[in-house]
């Protein structure tokens, strides 16, 4: 499953890159793109684990950039 | 352009203003009043905290998470370092300046994003559908195929369909970049995303919203980042090493020299720590990381305004390096429609010959016959036409105004015994002869050809001007016809009588011996294998054609070959801006690093090297969005 989420207060492009890298490292993530310009994150993972992985991704993003929140 | 500040930005602005006022008051007061060093420290720490408390907070959280190469953390280390070395005003001002820069950056980037989003603002919000004789406004998603929708003047056409009632003019600029409106009437196809200008029209939909042209285009442009450009990957990699490298350099600079120059001297430690702080401030690669994708995004957005859809930054890069353009003939360089090229009469006038031929052919549905009828100016008086006989494979024999005419190929002329001759021009030749009281007269011939598009010649000229070296045409058509078109357009080469597989192998040959990149231009319907094989596949005339949108890398919405040169120009401009930004940002940072290491550049330089460079790079990137001057 591939889903796109909006991000709020994503203020720096370098952080977007770091978020993407960090999310890609989560086990089970098949693909992830954090676009600073679109202020969006696209996450791809297996249907069965998607919700679990999404939660982890949200946590990871908060770790990299505390100001930025994922709009679910 | 107006831009509304977000809540966060407003709050930041307020904090900055308070800090500026406080700092000014403190600086002026301390100019006249002597206070002990600790009092000075506390005084300067107040505006510092007001301006930068969120930076400190984030830095602290990041430290806990082990994110030590974060911009805010580095900024904190740098300013705290300045406090430690006794540069209280500098520390305060640098933090303030940094925050002003951040705010500026946030506004500049926000604005850029808004205007790019606006470029793509072709999505229709609602559709008025007729259900049970009532007009209901619904979301375009809810309209099904075959329903009747009504579109009033000034509204966007929400779904692809066919006009069943009414007539109007439609502005297709949002999709094609062509600003001249097009007349649409009963049974004409209309395309979603275009603007209805003058009349109320009822449309029977032929696609769902998800399948409509506008959705396809939006999807394509929004996902254009799928294929990344090499420079983008380079910047990503570079950023990964740049920050740690600069931070390590800062550590080395702050510790090693004092060990040798005077381990016991606070003055020397202070001096080198200041230099190290300069390094920390310029260690963020943000200017590159933001401006490169922003430039590509802007370029792709700007090109889409001109009806040129580029499927990714990677193709932008390829487009900019093209030196060979290979064309399919029919439908790409030519209209794919037969038209009368020339009329060579014998014994009678041009008008008379056209008149006779049109009368003879007026009952035929053959494309060649229809082209003759189209070429006839004025009304064809069908009451004058008597018996018409089609002679298979040869032409027609028709009685017009009491006389018998033959209209067809050379065989027909032989059959009727006319003294005909061939034409020096290439194309399809229709001969005309008259039989009157047993005497057969040859009346001349009409030359019919697939017409070269009006702007094909101009397109070739601008491609040559743009430095494209090889312009090659591939066609399945006869050699004589191909040669004729190639000469008229000034192509550098052509290959005729090719089967589809032959086209692929020709392209492969050219790929093998070319230096630059190769683009193939086709109509996207039967050229898919070649489009895929070329470095860059360009499909033309994609209005309403899904096949083209899917198989090509670059899609031209209308039929104009001149857009290819525009696409190359846009790509080159974008690449130039990308490189300008890379060189500018790296150059300034390198200079500041060198001057900083030598102790010439202070914190002020450093903050400029960080946020100043970023703002300039973003503003420069925005130029990618602008359309070409015409």
Distance set, CA B413 to CA B182, B417, B432 (Å): 43, 6, 8
Last residue of a domain, one of B422, B451, B480: B451
CA B589, B595, B598, B604 torsion: positive or negative? negative
Do B342 and B446 belong to one domain? yes
For residue B316, what is the domain's CATH number?
3.40.50.1000
Buried b (16+ CB within 10 A) or exposed e, B39-62: ebeebbeebbebbbebbbebbebb
Question: 75-114 in B: which are within 8 Å (CB) of A?
Answer: 102, 106, 109, 112-113
Beta strand residue intervals within A9-65, DSSP E:
29-35, 40-45
**Which residues in chain A touch residue B102, judged by CB atoms under 8 angstroms apart?**
11
Half-sphere exposure of B154 (CA within 13 A, CB side): 0
Q: Indicate whether B172 belongs to any domain.
A: no
Contact partners, residue B398, CB within 8 Å, separation at least 6: B359, B360, B385, B386, B387, B388, B389, B404, B405, B407
- Write down the pLDDT at residue B594: 92
A44 touches chain B (CB under 8 A): no
Do B327 and B390 belong to one domain? no
CB atoms A14 and B71 under 8 Å: yes
Q: Indicate whether B127 belongs to any domain.
A: no
| Cα gap B475→B498, rounded to integer Å | 6
CA B498, B501, B504, B506 torsion: positive or negative? negative
Do B254 and B233 belong to one domain? yes
CB atoms A9 and B286 under 8 Å: no
- Interface test mutation site (partner A, options B6, B12, B64, B70, max chain A beta carbons within 10 A): B70
CB atoms B286 and A38 under 8 Å: no
Do B345 and B321 belong to one domain? no
Last residue of a domain, one of B557, B589, B614: B557
Please say if the pLDDT value at position B544 is more than 60. no
Q: Indicate whether B1 belongs to any domain.
A: no
Q: State how far residue B195 is from chain A, nearest Cα, in angstroms.
A: 26
Hey, what's the torsion of the CAs at B168, B171, B172, B174, to 10 degrees? -140
Rounded to the nearest 5°, which phi and psi values hold at B433? -135, 155
Q: Indicate whether B592 belongs to any domain.
A: yes
A11 touches chain B (CB under 8 A): yes
Do B100 and B31 belong to one domain? yes
Please say if the pLDDT value at position B3 is more than 80. no
* Partners of residue B522 on adjacent β-strands: B539
Q: State how far residue B285 is from chain A, nearest Cα, in angstroms.
A: 7
* Partners of residue B205 on adjacent β-strands: B161
CB atoms B61 and A66 under 8 Å: yes
Which fold would CATH assign to domain A2-71? Alpha-Beta Plaits (3.30.70)
CB atoms B225 and A35 under 8 Å: yes
**Which residues in chain B touch residue A17, judged by CB atoms under 8 angstroms apart?**
236, 239, 289
Nearest CB among B58, B286, B297 relative to A14 is that of B286
CB atoms A38 and B222 under 8 Å: yes
CB B172 within 8 A of CB B156: no
Task: Report the range out of B336-345, B364-373, B467-476 with the highest average pLDDT.
Answer: B467-476
CB B513 within 8 A of CB B491: no
Average pLDDT for A3-8: 84
* Partners of residue B440 on adjacent β-strands: B435
Distance in angstroms between the alpha carbons of the first and the last residue of chain B: 23
Do B489 and B499 belong to one domain? yes
| Cα gap B515→B468, rounded to integer Å | 12
Average pLDDT for B297-317: 85
Please say if the pLDDT value at position B2 is more than 60. no
Do B359 and B501 belong to one domain? no
**Which residues in chain A touch residue B294, judged by CB atoms under 8 angstroms apart?**
37
CB atoms B286 and A63 under 8 Å: no
Please give the ipTM for the structure prediction: 0.71
Sketch the domain layout of chain A as residue ranges: 2-71
Q: Indicate whether B73 belongs to any domain.
A: yes
3-state secondary structure B501-531: HHHHHHHHHHHHHCCCEEEEEECCCCCHHHH
pLDDT in tens, A27-72: 989 888 888 777 888 888 888 888 899 999 998 888 887 778 888 7
Question: What percent of chain B has pLDDT above 90?
Answer: 19
Q: Indicate whether B21 belongs to any domain.
A: yes
Please say if the pLDDT value at position B259 is more than 70. yes
B290 touches chain A (CB under 8 A): yes
**Which residues in chain B touch residue A9, judged by CB atoms under 8 angstroms apart?**
8
Lowest mean per-residue pLDDT among B1-10, B305-314, B432-441: B1-10
Which pairing describes strands B189-190 and B161-165: parallel, antiparallel, or unpaired? antiparallel
pLDDT in tens, B269-281: 888 888 888 888 8
For residue B428, what is the domain's CATH number?
3.40.1110.10
Q: State how far residue A51 is from chain B, nearest Cα, in angstroms.
A: 24
| Cα gap B314→B511, rounded to integer Å | 18
- Write down the pLDDT at residue B565: 92
A64 touches chain B (CB under 8 A): yes
- Write down the pLDDT at residue B572: 94
CB atoms B113 and A39 under 8 Å: yes
B610 touches chain A (CB under 8 A): no
Confidence tier at B570 by pLDDT (50, 70, 90): very high
Please say if the pLDDT value at position B96 is more than 50. yes
CB atoms B289 and A13 under 8 Å: yes
**B603 vs A23, higher pLDDT:** A23
- Write down the pLDDT at residue B536: 92
- Write down the pLDDT at residue B258: 87
Residue B465's domain spans which residues?
308-333+453-557
Do B87 and B74 belong to one domain? yes
B294 touches chain A (CB under 8 A): yes
Please say if the pLDDT value at position B591 is more than 60. yes
| Cα gap B438→B510, rounded to integer Å | 59
- Write down the pLDDT at residue B629: 61
Tokens 């696209």 -> residue: A42
A33 touches chain B (CB under 8 A): yes
User: What's the mean pLDDT when you consider all of chain B?
Assistant: 84
**Which three-class secondary structure state does DSSP give residue B446?**
strand
- Write down the pLDDT at residue B222: 66
CA B608, B49, B82, B91 torsion: positive or negative? positive
Number of domains in chain B: 3
pTM surpassing 0.80? Answer: no
| Cα gap B287→B612, rounded to integer Å | 9
Rg from Cα positions in chain B: 35
CB atoms A14 and B239 under 8 Å: yes
Do B98 and B14 belong to one domain? yes
* E strand or H helix that includes residue B565: helix B562-598
Do B511 and B580 belong to one domain? no
CB atoms A13 and B102 under 8 Å: no
Lowest mean per-residue pLDDT among B5-9, B85-89, B170-174, B541-545: B541-545
- Write down the pLDDT at residue B223: 66
Do B39 and B54 belong to one domain? yes
Widest Cα–Cα separation across chain B: 127
| Closest CA relative to residue B452, chosen from B408, B503, B496, B490 | B490
B71 touches chain A (CB under 8 A): yes
- Write down the pLDDT at residue B1: 45
Contact partners, residue B355, CB within 8 Å, separation at least 6: B376
Tokens 């991704």 -> residue: A57
Nearest CA in chain B to A60: B65
Q: State how far residue A66 is from chain B, nearest Cα, in angstroms.
A: 7
Q: State how far residue A50 is from chain B, nearest Cα, in angstroms.
A: 22
Q: Indicate whether B483 belongs to any domain.
A: yes
Rounded to the nearest 5°, which phi and psi values hold at B520? -115, 130
CA B542, B546, B547, B549 torsion: positive or negative? positive
Average pLDDT for B586-606: 88
* E strand or H helix that includes residue A60: helix A50-64
**B380 vs B167, higher pLDDT:** B167
Half-sphere exposure of B92 (CA within 13 A, CB side): 24
Last residue of a domain, one of B451, B472, B491: B451
- The stretches of B282-397 forming alpha helices (DSSP H) are 286-305, 313-320, 350-361, 367-375
Q: State how far residue B505 is from chain A, nearest Cα, in angstroms.
A: 36
Please say if the pLDDT value at position B266 is more than 70. yes
**Which residues in chain A touch residue B67, judged by CB atoms under 8 angstroms apart?**
18, 63-64
| Cα gap B292→B574, rounded to integer Å | 10
Please say if the pLDDT value at position B221 is more than 70. no
- Write down the pLDDT at residue A68: 82
Catalytic residues of B: 328
Average pLDDT for B453-478: 89
Q: Indicate whether B566 belongs to any domain.
A: no
3-state secondary structure B405-438: EEEECHHHHHHHCCCCCCCCCCCEEEEEEEEECC
pLDDT in tens, B361-387: 887 777 778 888 888 877 777 777 888
Please say if the pLDDT value at position A2 is more than 70. yes
Q: State how far residue B550 is from chain A, nearest Cα, in angstroms.
A: 20
Confidence tier at B545 by pLDDT (50, 70, 90): low
């Amino acid at each position: 499953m591939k889903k796109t989420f909006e991000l709020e207060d994503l203020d720096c492009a370098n952080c977007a890159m770091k978020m993407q890298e960090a999310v890609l490292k989560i086990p089970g993530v098949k693909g992830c793109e954090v676009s600073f310009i679109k202020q969006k994150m696209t996450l791809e993972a297996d249907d069965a684990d998607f919700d679990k992985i999404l939660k982890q991704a949200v946590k990871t993003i908060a770790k990299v950039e505390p100001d930025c929140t994922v709009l679910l | 352009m107006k831009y509304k500040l977000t809540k966060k930005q407003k709050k930041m602005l307020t904090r900055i203003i308070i800090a500026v006022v406080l700092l000014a008051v403190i600086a002026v007061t301390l100019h006249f009043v002597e206070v002990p060093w600790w009092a000075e420290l506390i005084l300067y720490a107040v505006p510092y905290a007001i301006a930068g408390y969120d930076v400190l907070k984030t830095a602290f959280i990041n430290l806990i998470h082990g994110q030590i190469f974060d911009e805010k953390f580095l900024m904190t280390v740098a300013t705290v370092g300045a406090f430690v070395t006794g540069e209280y005003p500098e520390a305060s001002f640098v933090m303030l300046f940094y925050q002003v820069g951040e705010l500026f950056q946030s506004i500049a980037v926000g604005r850029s994003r808004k205007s790019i989003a606006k470029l793509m603002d072709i999505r229709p919000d609602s559709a008025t559908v007729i259900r049970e004789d009532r007009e209901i406004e619904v979301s375009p998603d809810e309209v099904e195929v075959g329903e009747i929708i009504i579109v009033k003047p000034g509204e966007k056409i929400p779904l692809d369909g066919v006009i069943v009632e009414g007539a109007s003019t439609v502005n297709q600029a949002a999709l094609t970049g062509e600003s001249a409106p097009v007349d649409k009437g009963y049974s004409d196809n209309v395309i979603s995303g275009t603007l209805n200008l003058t009349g109320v029209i009822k449309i029977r939909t032929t696609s769902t919203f998800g399948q409509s042209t506008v959705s396809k285009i939006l999807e394509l442009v929004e996902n254009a980042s799928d294929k990344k450009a090499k420079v983008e990957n380079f910047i990503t990699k570079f950023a990964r090493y740049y920050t740690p490298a600069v931070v390590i350099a800062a550590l080395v600079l702050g510790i090693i020299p004092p060990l040798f120059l005077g381990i016991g001297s606070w003055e020397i430690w202070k001096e080198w720590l200041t230099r190290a702080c300069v390094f920390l401030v310029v260690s963020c690669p943000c200017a590159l990381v933001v401006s490169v994708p922003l430039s590509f995004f802007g370029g792709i957005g700007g090109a889409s305004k001109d009806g040129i859809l580029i499927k990714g930054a990677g193709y932008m890069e390829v487009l900019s390096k093209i030196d060979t353009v290979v064309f399919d003939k029919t439908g790409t360089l030519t209209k794919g429609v037969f038209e009368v090229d020339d009329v060579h009469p014998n014994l009678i006038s041009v008008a008379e010959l056209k008149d006779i031929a049109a009368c003879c052919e007026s009952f035929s549905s053959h494309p060649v016959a229809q082209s003759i009828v189209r070429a006839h100016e004025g009304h064809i008086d069908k009451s004058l036409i008597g018996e018409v006989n089609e002679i298979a494979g040869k032409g027609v024999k028709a009685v017009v105004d009491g006389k018998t005419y033959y209209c067809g190929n050379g065989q027909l002329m032989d059959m009727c015994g006319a003294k005909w001759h061939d034409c020096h021009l290439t194309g399809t030749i229709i001969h005309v002869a008259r039989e009157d009281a047993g005497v057969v007269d040859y009346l001349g011939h009409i030359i019919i050809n697939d017409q070269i598009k009006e702007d094909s010649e101009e397109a070739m000229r601008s491609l040559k001007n743009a430095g494209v070296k090889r312009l090659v045409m591939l066609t399945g058509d006869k050699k004589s016809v191909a040669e004729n078109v190639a000469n008229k357009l000034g192509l550098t080469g052509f290959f005729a009588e090719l089967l589809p597989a032959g086209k692929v192998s020709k392209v492969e040959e050219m790929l093998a011996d070319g230096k630059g990149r190769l683009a193939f231009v086709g109509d996207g319907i039967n050229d898919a294998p070649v489009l895929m094989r070329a470095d860059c596949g360009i499909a033309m005339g994609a209005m309403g054609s899904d096949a083209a949108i899917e198989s090509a890398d670059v899609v031209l919405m209308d039929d104009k070959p001149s857009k290819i040169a525009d696409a190359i120009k846009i790509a080159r401009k974008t690449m130039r801006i990308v490189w300008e930004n890379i060189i500018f940002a790296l150059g300034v940072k390198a200079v500041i690093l060198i001057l900083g290491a030598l102790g010439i550049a202070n914190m002020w330089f450093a903050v400029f090297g960080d946020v100043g460079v970023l703002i300039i790079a973003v503003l420069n990137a925005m130029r990618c969005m602008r359309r070409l001057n015409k």
